[in-house]
Structure 1
Amino acid sequence: MLTKLLFPPQWIPTQPYLSLPSLFAFLKANYCDVEQMDINVSFYDDLLSKQGLSAFYEKVYSKFQDLESQKELSPHLQKQYTALSSSVLFGEYIIDETDNAKKILRDKKGFYNVKELFRAFKILELGLKLVSSAYYPTNLTFHSYDMRYSCRSSKAILASINDREENLFIDYFEKETVPKILENRPDLIGISIINTSQLIPGLTLASLIKRADENIHINIGGSVFTRLINEISKNNELFSIFDSVIVHEGETALLNLTKHLSNGLDIEDIPNLIYKKGSGIRINKLSSEGEDINSLPSPCFDGLPFSLYFSPELILPVLSSRGCYWKRCTFCDHSYGYSGNYRPRNVDLLYNDIKTLKDRYKTSFFTFQDEGVSPRLISALSDKIIENNLDISWLADSRFDPVFSEEFGNRIADAGCKMLYFGLESANNRILSCMDKGIKKDNVLNICRYCADAGIWTHLFLIFGFPTETRHEARETVDFILHNNKIIRSMSFGSFQLTKHSKVYENPPLFDVKTIIRNENIDLSLWYDYETTRGMSKKETDELIQEFYNELSLQYRDFSIWSNLDREHLFLYISHYKGSKDERGLSELIDRIQKEQIKKYTTTDTRNNGIYPVLNEGVFIRTFNFNLAQIIHTMLAGDSLENRLQKDRTNVLFDTNNNRVFTITDFAKDVLDRSSGELDISEIIEVIREKYQMPYTEAESKCKSFLKGLFEKNIVYY
């Protein structure tokens, strides 16, 4: 009996996710015939290719031509026109550049040239915009998949999986994915859904597999459905897409399901299994005990397409424990997906995991996926790494634990620790107490200092707008960060989210939450809107976050680098440049970029011949039948598109580097069409003089004045 394990989009494709390799290893260790497929990384690689984008461009161009031929556009069509025309504007350029952009992300030299890396990011992001516009109003990025349909509603999800016009996964899965899945005729398919962004893609895939072969048993697993046990157990329609769901930890349940199906046995005695039986849905016994973590094999990544991940090094995830050893933070529900108590892995087994993975897959880069690594366990592991001279680099999530000393920081740094992620959340003592963080600000500074001295980069998580938090209390957090920017190296931050199963959700009166807003149509929600009796409003919280963002960009010279790198990429940058002991951090790269941006000709004095104007890369010009710039400016201003737009032939200049759009005259377009580096200014002036039949001095004055303005806007260079 063949089992295939699938990891569907949408998830960031920088490294393998740990769920499949853990299950795959367990089934293999128990002599099961099993394969694993990272559909997510294959999906991004296929889409972001010359062949892939060309197909989407044809679809985009066809829809664009339909709108271009209209006499007028309704407000809805104006939005679609914006998406389509933008893609048409830069589409051919992106198609030609996307394969090279992927190479830069995977190249051990090009990746560490930050200017080239960010150029590659921009190209790939525009590639995803092109793909999205073909299925407007759907929007796909490296971090999200948003549709008109809500992933918080089962009715919306069921509608989305049949909407071929807006669900971009239907066509892709039918052509590229389902045929590969059906190879060798699998009997059981397990789909891992660990984030809500995977719900529509993952269930679309399940539906297509079920249509292709209804005899395949499709099982869904992962933390999302574990949090929704009550909701899915009442939803017969969802079980028309799949056959069963495994909740909580999945190794034993999946093995039992495999054996039972193979032998034709009833599955009613398999713990943690939910499935449709007759006209109802059955919930088997939910086990209160998790897996024995010391009986589990090392994760196995065999069969995964390492060359496709969008990173220059293979970065493998490992787990030192299950559950959270603190498990008291009132805003958090992360540990809900684990059964039982906190269970650390034996240090010898953990060391063997890392050593085995390093040797087998020829990599030295590891990320701990724990909720928070235990200082005791990581200290013991560091001793073994140092003792055996194991050359690795790693990062982990940690806590501001009082046992973290200067000696501890030096030891884990010697063992290869490059980055630690800490959940500070707030620097206000009252809010910290409400969150039950169990940390003190003085200790926070000491630990950050120990890390900085040891060469470990510290990244802090912050939450603004916790129930009852005032602006003054939130500013205390902002000021704490800004005043200690020498030892606090980077951070992520956002507004408080009321998550299902958190202590705030379970006990709202304790946190002055007077109302949790529930909607019966939003039956699969993992978070809720709410109202409090006091504290900042959502608007006030958002304003403070924007204020903080602006201040960070001024205070941290390397902000533009670390704020735009995903965790794995920042980890590689820190490991490569070893800049964390340098007070300037990554700011030396900023200096390098600024030097490279000094043009060969930095003067705007264009009196002499032999100076060739060139449009900057990422600047595009095109003539449209409708005023694209007007639509975009209206939307950016936050104004609604209420009126129908009449046909109005317009030349548009689109600067994708700075997200700027300009309307330009025919004269300006003629000048820029010739600013390709092939003609010098005097030759351009002569062409313009002849076309517009104007005196040479007038043509010269207009051309130079126009180009000077664009030079100052960084749209052209000489």
Structure 2
Amino acid sequence: MLIYPPFADPTWPYVSLPTLKGYLGRRGIPVTVRDLNVEAFSVLTAESTTDEWQQRLSARFQVLNGRESLTLSEQMEYRRVAEALPLFQDFAALMTVMRDERSFYDRAAYGAGRDGIEDLFRIMEAVYFPFRFNCNRADHLVAPWDFTLLDSYITHRRSLLDRFYRQQLAELEPPRFVGISLTFVSQIPEAFYLCRLLRDAFPCCFLMLGGPCLDLMVRYGRPEVVSLILDHVDAITMQEGEKALEQLLPLLADGLPDQEQLAAIPNLITRDKVSGVVHQGPPWVLDLVKSVAPDYSDLDLKLYLAPSPMLLYSPTRGCYWNKCSFCGYGFNQSGAHAYREIPVQQAVADLQALQEEFGVANFYLSCDVLSPDYAFRLAQEILDSGLEIYWSTDLRIEAAYTPERCRLLYLSGLRAVAFGVESCSQAVLRLMHKGTTPERIRSVNRHFHQAGISTAWMTFLGHPGEGFKEAKATLDLLTVERKVVDQFIVGTFGLTPGSRIACRPEEFGIDSIYFTAGDVFRLFPLYTVRAAGTIITDRQSAQLDAQIDDLSSRYQLDHYPWAGAISTHHSFLYLLRYGQRVFAKAWPLPAKRKMKAGSGKKIRPRFPLAELRRREEQFMGQYLEGALQLDPETGLTPLCFDHFQEALAREGGGNKR
């Protein structure tokens, strides 16, 4: 069995495990795929679940509200409980809004459904304080995941899905093998939670963790990380897992393989149960000519939160450019993953087979990038084959995208493209090693837009060496080109493990790179810069924020995975229905939500919520100022779960009514 754990996008099935299933199935090795992420959303929105949460919050509110004073931790919980209680509604009905075509395409109804689901996440945060959850998050209020925090989370049964997991395992025939794909950071806690439950329920089952996020954790984590992960599972798969599973599963079918056999399996990390020595198999990379179309047959596509399905397909792996300073896709920077392509005839045949089997017309080509030549050949093959689909993908700004070529892409069904523009300053583009110019960005974007293809610009501010002038150049070009830019995002630079900046910080004016004590996986590097000339003042920062706010007010923008976010299922459906400019103006306000019986009952907090919020913000600001200070002796900042708990205990204190 292969498991995709919560929390991630519930609007479409992710491509990784169906890809493995297709590859193994072609070789006569059957596996079953379970998407526990989408199954979880049905559980979390069920009336029985939300009724129980409402009762728990009501009881907790009464307890806290009856006290003469509250500790700081209790104040933080109390405010969340008090703010969550009025938010209950029929959340199961919101799932219907997302799956029903009529309500989904009603922008006011859609907005109400989206807001209701976001309210559900706020309720989850209150019930399971101090943890936070949404489609892109499962974390602690402030501390990064380390093994102390994970152990506390698991031991105290803090997962929202504990009961669901236990019910599912109780109904399961004892499996010989379970592999869990840890694709995103937001899946870390539930992946390890499942490992513990599976080990307790099925001690003889061979457990394995793999996936892009796990690969980064192992590749860049502290030296003890591999051993600590292997305390939870029998094996770790690095990078591509096709060959590892192809060799491992037949061995397991014949009984438990010995350590010598395990050590010879490509991309597999195991630990000798006697000596404790860790072994890593030889590296292996898939020849995409031998790839197989993903097999989604185990998944109920009607469960996903969308009125019609959209499938992911990966025709390429790696990046043909692979020079950008900030990019840390661990696979691409490792040297083991060169840019590779599935032959276009094979790719189109795969798409046609997926369309015929699952009745889908919409595809997201999920890959780092398509080369221009491949994109053109793929488009021509789609047209020559008579395949009628709509698709979207990410492309790099290249001069090869002429008006004629963009028209070809449109005719093949391309309706939305996301560009990694990053910056519109020539100086910063050079620092980034982007190999492009602002003028090329303008002209290529216009070629796509004029061909009828929706364009989205992914940009960010704060690249080392960027000053106010350079940052403003990005916002200025976005403003000038607004009528031909259909979506955009302006993010903030974050240092990524494995990137050129992380590996050669001195080239970018970085003095030091360090981590928090709790970031044992080293996923979130911190850094200091020495180039004082590039520091942006508070006043300049406020000016940039105001310009972003003004530009954003002219669009309907949102965060993942909703309509208005870049490269999401919902956004693509809206682009198909209403055209490429559907997000280029603000939408009407959402319809008024229907309150659930009992949730409208007025609560009377005895402690002032605004004051509690102010005190929490004050404490968090003061705490983080110290917790993120580098300790020269350890080379770390003290921020971690234990350190935060100690700070809360020291703060203590009560808040009188």
Does structure 1 retain, via aligned residues, the 8 Å contact 2:76–2:616? Answer: no
**Alignment equivalent of 1:234, drawn from 224, 242, 246:** 224
Q: Please give the TM-score of this superposition, normalised by the length of structure 2.
A: 0.87
Name the stretch that deviates more: 227-236 or 325-334: 227-236
**Alignment equivalent of 1:268, drawn from 246, 263, 268:** 263
1: CA distance, partners of 2:279 / 2:143:
26
For residue 542 of structure 1, report the CA deviation from its aligned partner.
6.5
Name the stretch that deviates more: 135-144 or 12-21: 135-144
Cα 1:300–1:329 shift into 2, 3 Å: same
Cα 1:65–1:636 shift into 2, 3 Å: closer
Counterpart in the other structure of 1:209: 198
Q: What amino acid maps onto 2:428 in structure 1?
A: I
Q: What amino acid maps onto 2:569 in structure 1?
A: E
**Alignment equivalent of 1:370, drawn from 349, 352, 367:** 367
Listed as ranges, the matches of 1:320-469 within 5 Å are 320-334=315-329, 336=331, 339-469=336-466
For residue 327 of structure 1, report the CA deviation from its aligned partner.
0.8
Listed as ranges, the matches of 1:134-149 within 5 Å are 134-148=127-141
Counterpart in the other structure of 1:190: 179
- Residue identity over aligned pairs, in percent, reads 22
Q: What amino acid maps onto 1:240 in structure 2?
A: D
1: CA distance, partners of 2:503 / 2:479:
34
2: CA distance, partners of 1:410 / 1:615:
43
The question of 1:280 aligning with 2:260 is answered no
For residue 36 of structure 1, report the CA deviation from its aligned partner.
0.5
2: CA distance, partners of 1:344 / 1:447:
24
Residue aligned with 2:112, SS: helix
Cα 1:527–1:559 shift into 2, 3 Å: closer
Cα 1:249–1:450 shift into 2, 3 Å: same
RMSD: 2.7
2: CA distance, partners of 1:565 / 1:527:
23
For residue 184 of structure 1, report the CA deviation from its aligned partner.
2.9
Q: What amino acid maps onto 1:282 in structure 2?
A: V
Counterpart in the other structure of 2:241: 250
**Alignment equivalent of 2:308, drawn from 313, 318, 340:** 313
2: CA distance, partners of 1:134 / 1:271:
43
For residue 550 of structure 1, report the CA deviation from its aligned partner.
0.9
Does structure 2 retain, via aligned residues, the 8 Å contact 1:232–1:238? Answer: no
For residue 519 of structure 1, report the CA deviation from its aligned partner.
4.1
1: CA distance, partners of 2:263 / 2:382:
45
Cα 1:120–1:638 shift into 2, 3 Å: farther
Q: What amino acid maps onto 2:200 in structure 1?
A: R
The question of 1:304 aligning with 2:302 is answered no
2: CA distance, partners of 1:575 / 1:106:
16
Counterpart in the other structure of 1:19: 16
**Alignment equivalent of 1:502, drawn from 499, 504, 519:** 499
For residue 371 of structure 1, report the CA deviation from its aligned partner.
0.5
2: CA distance, partners of 1:144 / 1:473:
31
1: CA distance, partners of 2:166 / 2:547:
45
For residue 108 of structure 1, report the CA deviation from its aligned partner.
1.3
**Alignment equivalent of 2:602, drawn from 606, 622, 637:** 622
**Alignment equivalent of 2:156, drawn from 148, 155, 163:** 163
Q: Please give the TM-score of this superposition, normalised by the length of structure 1.
A: 0.80
The question of 1:489 aligning with 2:486 is answered yes
Cα 1:35–1:543 shift into 2, 3 Å: farther
For residue 625 of structure 1, report the CA deviation from its aligned partner.
4.4
2: CA distance, partners of 1:361 / 1:268:
39
The question of 1:63 aligning with 2:56 is answered no
**Alignment equivalent of 2:468, drawn from 467, 471, 477:** 471
Equivalent residues, number: 611
For residue 261 of structure 1, report the CA deviation from its aligned partner.
1.9
Listed as ranges, the matches of 1:519-598 within 5 Å are 519=516, 521-534=518-531, 535-536=534-535, 543=542, 546-554=545-553, 556-559=554-557, 563=564, 567-577=568-578, 579-580=579-580, 585-586=582-583, 590=587, 593=588
Cα 1:565–1:26 shift into 2, 3 Å: closer
Q: Which has the larger radius of gyration?
A: 1
Counterpart in the other structure of 2:623: none
Listed as ranges, the matches of 1:672-691 within 5 Å are none
2: CA distance, partners of 1:533 / 1:201:
40
**Alignment equivalent of 1:634, drawn from 614, 626, 631:** 614
Residue aligned with 1:623, SS: coil
Listed as ranges, the matches of 1:662-673 within 5 Å are none
For residue 520 of structure 1, report the CA deviation from its aligned partner.
5.0
2: CA distance, partners of 1:530 / 1:205:
34
1: CA distance, partners of 2:509 / 2:371:
33
Cα 1:319–1:566 shift into 2, 3 Å: closer
**Alignment equivalent of 1:294, drawn from 289, 297, 312:** 289
Does structure 2 retain, via aligned residues, the 8 Å contact 1:233–1:274? Answer: no
1: CA distance, partners of 2:307 / 2:459:
29
Q: Deviations over 1:437-464 (max 9, x none)?
A: 1112111111111111111110011121
The question of 1:644 aligning with 2:654 is answered yes
Does structure 2 retain, via aligned residues, the 8 Å contact 1:151–1:199? Answer: no
Greater relative CO (CA pairs within 8 A, separation 6+): 2
Does structure 1 retain, via aligned residues, the 8 Å contact 2:222–2:522? Answer: no
Cα 1:291–1:233 shift into 2, 3 Å: farther
For residue 59 of structure 1, report the CA deviation from its aligned partner.
2.3
For residue 488 of structure 1, report the CA deviation from its aligned partner.
1.3
Name the stretch that deviates more: 420-429 or 21-30: 21-30
Q: Deviations over 1:128-178 (max 9, x none)?
A: 2222211111111122112257444233323322232x4434344223x33
Residue aligned with 1:228, SS: helix
Residue aligned with 1:120, SS: helix
**Alignment equivalent of 2:45, drawn from 38, 45, 48:** 48
2: CA distance, partners of 1:492 / 1:163:
39
Does structure 2 retain, via aligned residues, the 8 Å contact 1:319–1:368? Answer: yes
Does structure 2 retain, via aligned residues, the 8 Å contact 1:154–1:522? Answer: no
Q: What amino acid maps onto 2:308 in structure 1?
A: E
Cα 1:7–1:538 shift into 2, 3 Å: farther
Cα 1:549–1:635 shift into 2, 3 Å: farther
Gap regions ≥5 residues in structure 1: 598-613, 648-718
Does structure 1 retain, via aligned residues, the 8 Å contact 2:564–2:583? Answer: no
Residue aligned with 1:624, SS: coil
1: CA distance, partners of 2:605 / 2:441:
59
Cα 1:30–1:562 shift into 2, 3 Å: closer
Q: Deviations over 1:476-523 (max 9, x none)?
A: 111010011011111122111111111111111111111102345422
For residue 179 of structure 1, report the CA deviation from its aligned partner.
2.8
Q: Deviations over 1:358-409 (max 9, x none)?
A: 1100010100111011211121111122223322111000000111110111
Cα 1:628–1:28 shift into 2, 3 Å: farther
Q: Deviations over 1:636-659 (max 9, x none)?
A: 975779963334xxxxxxxxxxxx
For residue 30 of structure 1, report the CA deviation from its aligned partner.
1.5
**Alignment equivalent of 1:83, drawn from 75, 80, 84:** 80
Name the stretch that deviates more: 316-325 or 228-237: 228-237
2: CA distance, partners of 1:223 / 1:40:
17
Q: What amino acid maps onto 1:250 in structure 2?
A: G
Q: Deviations over 1:15-48 (max 9, x none)?
A: 1001110111111112123100000010112101
Does structure 1 retain, via aligned residues, the 8 Å contact 2:175–2:202? Answer: no
Residue aligned with 1:199, SS: helix
Gap regions ≥5 residues in structure 2: 621-650
Counterpart in the other structure of 1:110: 103
